[in-house]
Amino acid sequence: MFWVPLLLLAWAVAGVACLRLCLAAVRGAAVAGSDAGAGRDLTLYEAAFLSGGPGRVADVTLVAMARQRRLLLAHTGWATVVDPRGRDEMERSVIGAIGPQGQSPLAPVRAAAATADAVRGIAERLVGAGLAVPDGSGTTVAEAVRQV
């Protein structure tokens, strides 16, 4: 019979943790809004951000430029600029990350492009449209999940 109070205590702790998780999810949904992104088409960069974050946006930009033959991606891990005119802000940030020599290793280019102002602008547009949550609001849900 000693296990019954421990069982009740475990149920109470699990119930409180689940309640906190539900409340955090409701607060996150309230921030996002009820008609998130209604009547709005996503750009390629926005879709990449939603499916993989800033790193995916940098990868998509590099591949799109390589497909248009404005950037060469070598199997050795180097990127070479063929056309130095970027058509949008994201492409200009990739070209700027490669540098004035026009050739750079791929890893630092990807890292610099993922942290560029253009990617932050994409994130802000998605948050404004209600398709993504701001950086600070994800921590309450994560804390509640950890407790469950």
- pLDDT tens for residues 25-50? 787 777 655 555 556 789 999 999 99
pLDDT tens for each residue of 41-80: 899 999 999 999 999 999 999 999 999 999 999 999 999 9
Cβ-Cβ contacts under 8 Å for 112 (sequence gap 6 or more): 93, 96, 97
Token pair of 144, please? 């509640």
Q: Rounded to two decimals, what is the model's pTM?
A: 0.68
The answer to which of 15-24, 72-81, 86-95 has the lowest mean pLDDT is: 15-24
The length of the chain in residues reads 148
Cα dihedral: 78, 82, 88, 90 (round 10): 10
